[in-house]
Amino acid sequence: MKGSTASQPPYLKIVADIQRLIAAGSLRPGERVPSARQITRDWGVAIATATKVLAALRAEGLVQVLPGVGTVVAADAGPTPEPEPRAPRTRRSSSAEQEMSRERLVRAAVTIADAEGLTALSMRRMANELDAATMSLYQHVSSKDELIQHMVEAVIGEVAWPVPVPPGWRTKLELAARQQWAIYRRHPWLAQVMSLTRPPIGSSTLAHAEWIMGALDNLGLDANTMLHIQVTLSNYVRGTAVHLAQEAQFERDTGLTDEQWLSSKGAETAVSMVLASIPLPRFADLLTRQDIEFNIDTLFTFGLDRVLDGLGVLIDARETEKASSD
């Protein structure tokens, strides 16, 4: 049975063994790595541990899954070149060791995701950015998924609620929605990892939901209705924001913002060709008007106003019921 230092968790020992095989060239790019079943047999571990090994190797960018082939060594994970001779490294000071904290890791991950999207994020990339050993990052987070959970908590924690709280339920709900929209605008990747029924659970996310429900106090609403309003409002914002990541990727690929692309000659030519082939008088009229303002922010504001209008009908009815029962 193969092994490594006894201080490591079992799955990290196996990860280190396979890393060494890749670094030495015994496993080359494109070659299959041991399967989960083979790992259980060769290293004498449970299938759950073997699965965790392969997940950690994928998170580091060392392996990839090819349909019909299996898990293979990634193209850029070949043997490590012999390093240039250099002076022995001095032991890191205690202040430098404290520098490598989960907070620093999360900040760096958010910076990468903001600039390049979540697909650019991997534990191996993080190690390169922070000039640290990949496996050392697992002292702060157990996986890329846990890292993303901390990223979500960090960016939602950026919200600073006003004191004193503004009066009126509509003003409060609009403020909460615009706070959320601002977070998504700063971090376009965030909408991709939020869930309607299984949201990331942390102090920042729960505090945000609590603030929204607090805006609905004393309006004659039962707890179930207040919860549904909070989720509906947040889901409207997230549903619109989910397009931000794609827009950011288009901008990185083309160098054009969405407004620049819409006004570009290519877009105008494409629209003109469609209008020449089929009668679309309303779209033809839109192209000639100078009073049209259309972008993702105007769409967000228009939709938010309509959501709040609808909630107003519900709240007015409940307040009327409450007044008549009193």
Q: pLDDT digit of tens for each residue in the chain (326 aa)?
A: 444 444 567 888 888 888 888 887 878 887 888 887 788 888 888 877 877 888 888 888 888 877 556 788 887 665 544 444 444 444 444 444 445 688 999 999 999 999 888 888 999 899 988 988 888 898 999 889 999 999 999 999 988 888 888 899 999 999 999 999 999 999 999 998 887 767 667 788 888 899 999 999 989 899 999 999 999 999 999 999 988 887 777 676 676 666 666 666 666 677 777 777 888 787 677 677 777 677 888 899 999 999 999 999 999 988 788 777 76
**Assigned superfamily of 98-156:** Homeodomain-like (1.10.10.60)
CATH topology match: 10-73 vs 169-255+293-325: no
Looking at the chain, the number of H-run helices and the number of E-run strands are 15, 2
Judge if pTM exceeds 0.85. no
Peptide bond preceding 88: is omega within 30 degrees of 0, i.e. cis? Answer: no
Q: From 3.40.50.740, 1.10.10.10, 1.10.4010.10, 3.50.50.60, which CATH number describes the 10-73 domain?
A: 1.10.10.10
What's the rounded Cα separation, in Å, for the pair 12 and 144? 15
What architecture is domain 169-255+293-325? Orthogonal Bundle (1.10)
Give residue for tokens 């760096």: 108
Strand partners, 65: 71
What's the rounded Cα separation, in Å, for the pair 242 and 192? 6
